[in-house]
Structure 1
C-alpha cells in the first residue's frame, strides 16, 4: 500500500477508469490520482472508511461480474452518506493486500486510546495549516489555522501564545511546539475548576479525593474503591502518580473525555434487557421503503439501502415487489420513476447482512404486487437463497399459542428455523381474506376452514385470489390484516396478526382511543409507516407512536433529521440489537396506561431533570468560508408523552465554536421518564435566517449518567465528529 497500486475505479458498467492509489507515510491517508489528470489528485482518511466489502457486494460490481472475478473486487464503504468506492485490482493478491491492509488500519484506529486519538486530530490540523509542507508553521499559517478551527482570537493574544510555544525562537512552530500551542489554546478552565474543588493539594486527586468525586458528583455506587483504582490505572498517564494511587489533571481530563465519563451509561450499551418476552413487548427498529436511497418519485433503488439499514441494527425491512422482465420479480416504488432492482438481489443481500450486527430476528415486510407466477418465483428465491435462515414453520413445530420471543428466535439459537420472518402484505386492491390467512392452519379451531390440501371452498381458486400458496406458506407469525376497530380486534384478532397504519390514521387512533391503542399493542404487533404524501422521504416523529406502544414504527432510514436521531437514540441501547423492551405498564394489559394522562397510572413517579450546559469543545464549522466562525447555542429537547414535550435553549456565544462557555442551567419536569428521550442540538445562531445545524446527540433518559459528563456530538448523518463535544452537569431527582 505504501508503494502504491494501479486499480480500476468503477462507477458503472461503462465507466471503468484506472487510478493510482497510495497509502501516505502517516498510514492514515489514502492518496489517489488519474494518470491523465496531471497534478490533480484526491485524498481520503482511513477514519472515513466504515467497512470493506469483498467481492461483488454492490450493484456496480455486480453489473461487471461477468468481466472481473469476485476475488479482484472490493468496495470501500464511507461513513455518513458519502458514496461508496468500488475498485478492481489487477490481481487477487493485490486485492487481498488492500483488503487486509485497510482492515488492519481501521482496527488500529478503533483501538487507539483517547490521547492517541487527540494527537492524531492535532496532527491532521497541523498538516492542513502547513500550506508549504515544510513541517513548520509561521504565525500567518497559525492565524489561518485558528479560523479553520472555529476560533476568532484576538491577534495580540494569539501572537503571545505563539511566542510562548516557540521554544526554539525560530519564528515558527514545529511538531512538539505546535502540540504545546494547542494545549495552551485548549486549556480547560471548566474542568480545572472541578478538579481543584476535589483536590486537597490542588495538584492531584488522591484515591480518597477521586472516591469523593465519584460518590458525590457522579453518583456512582458499587465498589467505589475498586473502580477508583481502575480509573487511575486506565487513564492516568504519569507512572509516578500511579505509584501514589493518584490522578493528575491530565488523567482527570482523559477520564472525563472517555466512554466512562460520557453521558451515556456504558452498562446500557450491551444487551441488558430481558429478551424472553413475546415480540409484541418490544419496540423494533424498522425501515420504510428500505430499497430507496433518496426520494420516492425519482430516487435510486439500491441493495445498499438494505445493507445500511441492517448495519444500523434495523430488524424490519420493507420490500415492494412487482412483476419484472424475464419472469424475475423486481423491487421499486411502484408507479414512479424510481429505479428498479431484482428481488433475488435483495434477498441475497438480506441473507448476507441480516445477522452481522444483531443476532435477533429480522422481519421481511413484503408488499406484494406480483402475479401468481412471479410470486412462486419469489417463494423459490426465499427458499433457495435463505435456506434455514428463513422461518418456514412455528419454532417448535406445534400449533402456536403466542408470539415467540427475540431470544428463542435469534439466529444462533435456531439452526433449524432461523430468524427471518415474512410479513407479506396483499396488494391494496385485493380482498383481505386471502391465502395469507395461512397461519390459521396451525390453529386447531380454524384449521379445516382455511387450508387443507383440497381447498374445501369450491369457489376459492389461486388465480381468483391472485396469491400463491408457496409464498403464503412462509407467513407464520406476522400476518398482515385489515384493522376494523379495537373492539373487533379484542374479540377476534389472533396473536400473529399485524395491522398497518399510515401515520395519520395512527394519530387519529391515539387521539381518540389512546388507552385502547396501548392495550391493543400489549398483545398485537402494530406497524406504522410514513404518509404517501412524504414524496421527499421525510420522516414523522416516531415518539408519539412509541407513546402508545406501537412496535414497528417504520422510518425512512435514508433521510437524516430529528426522526432518525430519535430512532438511533432509542436503539443505541441494549447492544444496538434492534429490540428495546417496552415499560411494564405498556405490556401488562390491565395497567390501562393513557399517554395523555400519565399521572393516573399506578407507578407514576415524575422526575426533575436539571442540565447545566457548561462548555463546548472543537465544534465543527458549518460554513465553508474560511473566515466564518460559529455562534453556538445549545437546545435541549425532551421527547416523550405529550405532557413531557419541551425545549429550552442556552444563550448563543458570539464567534467561538472552538471553546464556548455557557454555564446555563435548564430544568425539565418529566412525567413518564421510562419513555422520555433527550436530544441535545447545537446550532449556529443567525439573526436573519434559520439557525444552521452543527451537531446533535440523542439518548433515552434511562441511559443517562449523572454528574459531570461529556456529550460526544454526532453529525446530521448520525456519524461521530470527534473531538466535538459538550461538557455538562446532570441531575435527576424525584419531583416532590
Structure 2
C-alpha cells in the first residue's frame, strides 16, 4: 500500500546493517573511503584547452568534498555530496566528449548538481581511482538521504555550529549563539535566546558543548503547533500508540486503506527511539520526522508511480515538451550544447526540438539560425538521443525537427538518424494497425523515437513512387518573422518558395507528419490522424478565444504543438496552462528558463511515474463531448468544488538576501491554475524576522470548477513593503488527490 515508505525503510535497514552486504562489497566501500579520504589529484576540465589539476579530498564528515582552486587564491572550495544529483561515467558531457581522444572513458566522470549549477567534469589519474570516486560519491549520496530521514538532528546543524564557533574551541558562548541565530535566518528576542541558552547550559560554564548544544537545538526547534497536535491524539500525552496514529491518519490525514499496517510502518521508518519502536509507539521526535518526510508531503505518494492507462492514442495525452532544447541560455547569444538534451531527457521530457542547418564539411549543424548562438553537430545530438532517450522513461520520444538544410545535407541527417539510432528510430507504421486506424499508444511505441517533420505523401504512400527530392512547400514551420511580414505587407516577393525534401529524410517521418493548419473545419474534413500542426503561442490564443470547443475537439483526434514566440529573445516562456486547457498535447517550453511556467510544467508531469505522459480528462478525449474552457459550466456537473487549504507553519527557510543581518519575513501564497474561471491567488500575512520556524495558521479557500485541469502552486516569498517580494521557494502539484497534511513540510518548499 505504501511502496515509497517501504523502500525508505529497506534502504535505511541496508545502510544501518552492513553485515547484510557481501564481504567483497564492504571491503570495496572501505577501500573507496580510504582513497577519497587520502585525496586525489584530478584534472578539472572546462574545455579542450582548459584542463587544470586540482586536489580533491573527502572531509571527515563524509558529506563534503574539499578541493583547492587557483581562482580562489589561498581559499579552498567545497562540494556538498547532497547537492550532487547524479554521477555520469565516461564521456557523457560535451566537454569530456571534446577530449575523448586524450583520455579514455574509464578515467572520466561528471558530477551533475541539482538546480542550475554547472556540471563538474573530472579526469582521474587511473580507471581504478575514477571508479573509487564514482562508487564512493554514490554511496554517500544515499547515506546522506537516509540520515536526513532517520536522524532527529540533521547534519546541517553541525555545520552551523562550526561556522558560529569563531575561535574553534568546540564551545559556543552567548555572543556566538546570537551570531548563529542570525546566520540561521532568525531574529530572536535576546531575553528569550538567553533563557534557552541557560536551560541548555547544564554545566553552568557559560558555554555550550556536545550534548548541551544538542539540547539547545531541540529547544530552538520546538514546534508548539505540532506538539499541540501530537497531544490531541496521544492517549497518554507522551507517545502515539498504533491506535492513536491510526486515528490521526484517518481523521487528520483523511487516509482510508490499511491504516494499522501503515501506522506500524511509520513507526519503524521514522521513530528514532528503539524503546518506542519496541512498544510500537511514536514519540514527538518521530512525529516531527514523519510530518517533514515525503510521507507527509502534500503530493499523494500513489501518484508518483505509473498509474494511468498507457494504451490510449498518443493524442489523448499531455506530453512533456521542450523548445530550442539545444540552448542553455537565451536565443540570441546563448550557448548551444548537447547538455540541453541530456538534462531535458533526464527530467522526463518526451518531445525535444532540433534546428538543423547546413554545416561545414558536409555535416549539418544545430543552432538558432540567424543569431550568434554557438553551434553543435547534429550527429552529436543524435548520439545523445540514443544514449539518454529512455533512461528516465521507456515511453516514446518525439524529435521535432526544424529543417533548414539543403537536399544534400538532408540525406546526411537521415543517414545519422538511421545509423546512430538504429532500431530505436520508428521508420515504419506498426504491424497490425490500419493506415486509417488512428494513432498508436505510448505503450505500443515504447522504446521508439519518432521524427516529427515534413513528409512526401501520406502514411501508406510509397516515397519511391514520387519524384526524386519532391517539393513539399515550406520544409520548416517556425518562421514566424516571414509569416508576420506576409500578413502585414502582402508582398508576393516575401512569400517563401517551396523547398525540396529528400526522400531519405521523408522516409524517417511516420506518425508525426507536419502540416500547415488552415481551419478547424478544414482539418475536421481533410486532416489525417498522423498529421500534426504547430502554432505560435499567439495564434493558439487566438484560436482558443474564437473557437475553444473546436480546438478541444481537434486535439481529441490529432496532435498539436505550441511553441513560444520568436520574439522572446530572452527565452522566456508563455503560460502552458492555457494551452493544456484546450487539450494541446505538445506544449513546448524553454527548459533552460526557470519561472512559474516551468514550475507548472514540472507540477503536471511530476505524476504518473514522471514518464512524460499524462492522460487527458475523459471530456477532452471524447469526440462526443463539447468542452469549452471559457464556459466550463456547460460540463454535466453538480456544481463547483471548494478547496480548503490550511497553512500552519514552516521551518528552516533559506535566506534570499545575503546582506549581513538580513532576516526573511516570509509569507505563503497559494495559487490555483486552471481554466480561466478557476484562476485565483490567496496569501497569508507575513511573519516579521523569522525564516527559521514561522507560524501562519491561516485557512485559504478556493472555488474549483474543473479540478481535472487544476494545478496548485505553493509559493514562499520574503515580504518587502518598499519593493517586489523576493522569491524563496515553491512547490507545484497536479490537483489535490488527498487531504493536505497539517503543516507544509520541508519537502514542499524548495530553495532555488
The alignment's TM-score, normalised by the length of structure 2, stands at 0.89
8 Å Cα contact 2:267-2:282 kept in structure 1: yes
Q: For residue 464 of structure 2, what is the aligned residue in structure 1?
A: 453
Per-residue CA deviation, residues 294-325 of structure 1 (Å, 9 max, x unaligned), is: 10100000111111111111000000000111
Using the alignment, how far apart are the partners of 1:707 and 1:117 within structure 2?
20
Q: For residue 683 of structure 2, what is the aligned residue in structure 1?
A: 649
Mapped pair 1:470 → 2:518: no
Q: For residue 429 of structure 1, what is the aligned residue in structure 2?
A: none
* TM alignment of 1:475-486, pairs within 5 A: 475-486=509-520
8 Å Cα contact 2:651-2:746 kept in structure 1: no
8 Å Cα contact 2:294-2:747 kept in structure 1: no
Identify which of 79, 83, 107 aligns with 1:72. 107
> Which is worse superposed, 653-662 or 211-220?
211-220
* TM alignment of 1:523-542, pairs within 5 A: 523-542=557-576
8 Å Cα contact 1:122-1:179 kept in structure 2: no
Cα deviation for residue 127 of structure 1 reads: 2.6
Closer, same or farther: CA 238–485 of 1 in aligned 2, 3 Å:
same
> Which is worse superposed, 456-465 or 335-344?
456-465
Q: For residue 595 of structure 2, what is the aligned residue in structure 1?
A: 561
Using the alignment, how far apart are the partners of 1:213 and 1:465 within structure 2?
67
Mapped pair 1:32 → 2:43: no
Q: For residue 11 of structure 2, what is the aligned residue in structure 1?
A: none
Mapped pair 1:253 → 2:264: no
Per-residue CA deviation, residues 331-374 of structure 1 (Å, 9 max, x unaligned), is: 00000000001101111111111111111111000100011111
Cα deviation for residue 701 of structure 1 reads: 1.4
Identify which of 404, 410, 415 aligns with 2:440. 404
Identify which of 109, 119, 137 aligns with 1:102. 137
Residue ranges of structure 1 left out of the alignment (5+ in a row): 412-418, 427-435, 723-736
8 Å Cα contact 1:497-1:525 kept in structure 2: yes
8 Å Cα contact 1:637-1:646 kept in structure 2: yes
Cα deviation for residue 99 of structure 1 reads: 1.6
Q: For residue 267 of structure 2, what is the aligned residue in structure 1?
A: 232
RMSD: 2.1
Q: For residue 725 of structure 1, what is the aligned residue in structure 2?
A: none
8 Å Cα contact 1:638-1:646 kept in structure 2: yes
Cα deviation for residue 36 of structure 1 reads: 9.6
Q: Classify the secondary structure of the residue corresponding to 1:123.
A: helix
Using the alignment, how far apart are the partners of 1:473 and 1:118 within structure 2?
61
* TM alignment of 1:505-524, pairs within 5 A: 505-524=539-558
Using the alignment, how far apart are the partners of 2:471 and 2:198 within structure 1?
90
Using the alignment, how far apart are the partners of 1:602 and 1:243 within structure 2?
53
Q: For residue 193 of structure 1, what is the aligned residue in structure 2?
A: 228
Per-residue CA deviation, residues 442-466 of structure 1 (Å, 9 max, x unaligned), is: 2xxxx4xxx3534279986999842
Identify which of 176, 186, 195 aligns with 1:160. 195
Q: Classify the secondary structure of the residue corresponding to 1:19.
A: strand
Q: For residue 120 of structure 1, what is the aligned residue in structure 2?
A: 155
Identify which of 685, 698, 701 aligns with 2:735. 701
8 Å Cα contact 2:96-2:108 kept in structure 1: yes
Q: For residue 170 of structure 1, what is the aligned residue in structure 2?
A: 205
Mapped pair 1:552 → 2:586: yes
8 Å Cα contact 2:152-2:289 kept in structure 1: no
Q: Classify the secondary structure of the residue corresponding to 1:477.
A: strand
Per-residue CA deviation, residues 275-297 of structure 1 (Å, 9 max, x unaligned), is: 11011110000000000011010
Identify which of 359, 364, 368 aligns with 1:329. 364
8 Å Cα contact 1:263-1:709 kept in structure 2: no
Using the alignment, how far apart are the partners of 1:61 and 1:626 within structure 2?
40
Using the alignment, how far apart are the partners of 1:117 and 1:31 within structure 2?
26
Cα deviation for residue 396 of structure 1 reads: 1.7
* TM alignment of 1:554-633, pairs within 5 A: 554-603=588-637, 605-633=639-667
Using the alignment, how far apart are the partners of 1:501 and 1:610 within structure 2?
37
Using the alignment, how far apart are the partners of 1:297 and 1:456 within structure 2?
38
Closer, same or farther: CA 612–573 of 1 in aligned 2, 3 Å:
same
Aligned length: 693
Mapped pair 1:349 → 2:378: no
> Which is worse superposed, 259-268 or 136-145?
136-145
Per-residue CA deviation, residues 52-71 of structure 1 (Å, 9 max, x unaligned), is: 11222222222222222222
8 Å Cα contact 2:516-2:533 kept in structure 1: yes
Q: Classify the secondary structure of the residue corresponding to 1:589.
A: coil
Cα deviation for residue 514 of structure 1 reads: 0.4
Using the alignment, how far apart are the partners of 1:240 and 1:566 within structure 2?
44
Identify which of 707, 713, 724 aligns with 1:673. 707
Per-residue CA deviation, residues 384-439 of structure 1 (Å, 9 max, x unaligned), is: 1111111111122654321111112112xxxxxxx111002x5xxxxxxxxx144x
Using the alignment, how far apart are the partners of 2:664 and 2:541 within structure 1?
38
8 Å Cα contact 1:262-1:709 kept in structure 2: no
> Which is worse superposed, 69-78 or 700-709?
700-709
Per-residue CA deviation, residues 122-145 of structure 1 (Å, 9 max, x unaligned), is: 222223323333333222222111
Mapped pair 1:302 → 2:302: no
Closer, same or farther: CA 457–128 of 1 in aligned 2, 3 Å:
closer
Using the alignment, how far apart are the partners of 1:38 and 1:488 within structure 2?
68
8 Å Cα contact 1:714-1:721 kept in structure 2: no
Cα deviation for residue 8 of structure 1 reads: 1.2
Closer, same or farther: CA 159–584 of 1 in aligned 2, 3 Å:
same
Mapped pair 1:17 → 2:52: yes
Q: For residue 492 of structure 2, what is the aligned residue in structure 1?
A: none
Q: Classify the secondary structure of the residue corresponding to 1:501.
A: strand
Q: Classify the secondary structure of the residue corresponding to 2:650.
A: strand
Q: For residue 14 of structure 2, what is the aligned residue in structure 1?
A: none
Higher helix share: 2
Q: For residue 382 of structure 1, what is the aligned residue in structure 2?
A: 417
Cα deviation for residue 467 of structure 1 reads: 1.1
Q: For residue 215 of structure 2, what is the aligned residue in structure 1?
A: 180
8 Å Cα contact 2:200-2:208 kept in structure 1: yes
Q: Classify the secondary structure of the residue corresponding to 2:52.
A: strand
Using the alignment, how far apart are the partners of 2:539 and 2:624 within structure 1?
25
Mapped pair 1:8 → 2:34: no
Q: For residue 395 of structure 1, what is the aligned residue in structure 2?
A: 430
Closer, same or farther: CA 705–352 of 1 in aligned 2, 3 Å:
farther
The alignment's TM-score, normalised by the length of structure 1, stands at 0.91
Using the alignment, how far apart are the partners of 1:529 and 1:122 within structure 2?
45
8 Å Cα contact 2:152-2:285 kept in structure 1: no
Using the alignment, how far apart are the partners of 2:459 and 2:603 within structure 1?
40
Q: For residue 283 of structure 1, what is the aligned residue in structure 2?
A: 318
Identify which of 128, 132, 142 aligns with 1:93. 128
Q: Classify the secondary structure of the residue corresponding to 2:510.
A: coil
Per-residue CA deviation, residues 649-677 of structure 1 (Å, 9 max, x unaligned), is: 11111111111111111110100011100
Using the alignment, how far apart are the partners of 1:601 and 1:454 within structure 2?
49
Closer, same or farther: CA 223–458 of 1 in aligned 2, 3 Å:
closer
> Which is worse superposed, 290-299 or 95-104?
95-104
Cα deviation for residue 118 of structure 1 reads: 4.5
Using the alignment, how far apart are the partners of 1:16 and 1:531 within structure 2?
39
Using the alignment, how far apart are the partners of 2:206 and 2:146 within structure 1?
37
Q: For residue 146 of structure 1, what is the aligned residue in structure 2?
A: 181
8 Å Cα contact 1:635-1:648 kept in structure 2: yes
Q: For residue 41 of structure 1, what is the aligned residue in structure 2?
A: 76
Q: Classify the secondary structure of the residue corresponding to 1:664.
A: strand
Cα deviation for residue 111 of structure 1 reads: 3.6
